[in-house]
């Protein structure tokens, strides 16, 4: 062992560092998956809690603590500020998510993702017919973050049809006292809208995939090291005799 060339030790050191690093990176990905599983379990647990009423929601000091809770809210739709979020799919068909501010009886306003409606494929700028009652309504749903963005555009979007809806910009644009969350309305189809919302994605499969890739790379480094540093030289010496 003492007589090994300097190159052998440099390659050995590089192999050890590579194996340790890839093993650690794979373990880190597994820990990230475990964290997301815990978050998903908490979301599921919150969904089993009794629904919050209007007053309880308004009184919540930290909206993050009530996120994903079920709610039963009473209020009035603000039909002046309906937004149709474009390029959203349901049942594999492109259309709009219809978002409408709901003025709560207790005072503030909350954005409600009321459901999905199919778009007019011949007239892309034609708004679909959506029933919006002018009398007070009761909305059942679950609390959620602001509507997810599909793409990031420079500048603020305006008009009824938009690609994305930034809550802070929309609050400044409308002057409404919006809460820092949204509601996904649940229940049977109504007002011309479907409400088959996608399941909350955890993304754990991606972390499992990355962990497998890192550990595969770790095994590959070990195999290549053993082959080129030990097996191949021994085979060469045997054939040279």
Considering the domain boundaries, does residue 31 fall inside one? yes
Q: What is the pLDDT along the chain (241 residues), one digit of tens a residue?
A: 556 788 899 999 999 999 999 999 999 999 999 999 999 999 999 999 999 999 999 888 788 889 999 999 999 999 999 999 999 999 889 999 999 999 999 789 999 999 999 988 888 788 888 999 999 999 999 999 988 777 655 555 778 999 999 899 999 999 999 999 999 999 999 989 999 998 887 889 999 999 999 999 999 999 999 999 999 888 887 877 6
The two most distant CA atoms of the chain are separated, in Å, by 97
Is residue 181 located within the same domain as residue 76?
yes
Considering the domain boundaries, does residue 195 fall inside one? no
Measured CA to CA in angstroms, residue 37 lies from 138, 148, 206, 208 at distances of 33, 21, 13, 12
Q: How many domains does the chain divide into?
A: 2
Q: Which helix (H) or strand (E) holds 133?
A: none
Is residue 82 located within the same domain as residue 109?
yes
Is residue 208 located within the same domain as residue 181?
no
Considering the domain boundaries, does residue 95 fall inside one? yes
pLDDT of residue 3: 62
Cα separation, 36 vs 142, in Å, equals: 20
Cα separation, 196 vs 204, in Å, equals: 23
Is residue 79 located within the same domain as residue 32?
no
Question: What 3-state DSSP class applies to 213?
Answer: helix
| 14 contacts: CB under 8 Å, gap ≥ 6 | none
Considering the domain boundaries, does residue 75 fall inside one? yes
Cα separation, 193 vs 129, in Å, equals: 10
Is residue 178 located within the same domain as residue 211?
no
Residue 172 structural domain = 69-185
Angle of helix 6-47 versus helix 204-226 axis, rounded to 10: 160
Considering the domain boundaries, does residue 149 fall inside one? yes
pLDDT of residue 2: 54
In 101-118, which positions are buried (b, 16+ CB within 10 angstroms) versus exposed (e)? Answer: bbbbeeeebbbbbbbbbe
pLDDT of residue 153: 57
Is residue 27 located within the same domain as residue 73?
no
The region, left, alpha or beta by phi > 0 then psi within -120 to 50, assigned to residue 130 is beta
Is residue 126 located within the same domain as residue 164?
yes
Q: Which helix (H) or strand (E) holds 44?
A: helix 6-47
Is residue 208 located within the same domain as residue 162?
no
Measured CA to CA in angstroms, residue 79 lies from 118, 132, 160 at distances of 19, 7, 11
Q: Read off the pTM.
A: 0.80
């Amino acid at each position: 062992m003492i007589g090994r060339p300097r190159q052998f030790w440099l390659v050995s050191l590089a192999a050890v560092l590579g194996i340790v690093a890839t093993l650690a990176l794979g373990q880190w990905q597994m820990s990230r998956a475990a964290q997301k599983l815990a978050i998903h379990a908490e979301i599921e647990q919150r969904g089993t809690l009794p629904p919050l009423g209007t007053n309880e929601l308004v009184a919540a000091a930290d909206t993050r603590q009530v996120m994903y809770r079920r709610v039963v809210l009473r209020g009035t739709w603000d039909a002046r500020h309906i937004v149709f979020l474009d390029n959203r799919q349901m049942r594999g068909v492109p259309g709009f998510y219809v978002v409408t501010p709901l003025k709560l009886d207790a005072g503030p306003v909350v954005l409600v993702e009321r459901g999905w409606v199919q778009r007019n494929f011949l007239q892309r700028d034609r708004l679909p017919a959506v029933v919006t009652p002018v009398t007070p309504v009761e909305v059942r749903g679950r609390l959620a973050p602001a509507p997810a963005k599909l793409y990031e555009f420079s500048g603020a979007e305006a008009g009824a049809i938009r690609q994305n809806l930034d809550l802070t910009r929309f609050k400044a644009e409308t002057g409404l006292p919006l809460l820092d969350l949204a509601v996904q309305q649940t229940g049977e189809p109504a007002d011309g809208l479907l409400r088959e919302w996608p399941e909350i994605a955890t993304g754990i499969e991606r972390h499992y995939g990355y962990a497998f890739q890192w550990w595969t790379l770790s095994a590959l480094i070990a195999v290549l090291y053993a082959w080129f540093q030990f097996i191949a030289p021994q085979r060469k010496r045997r054939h040279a005799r």
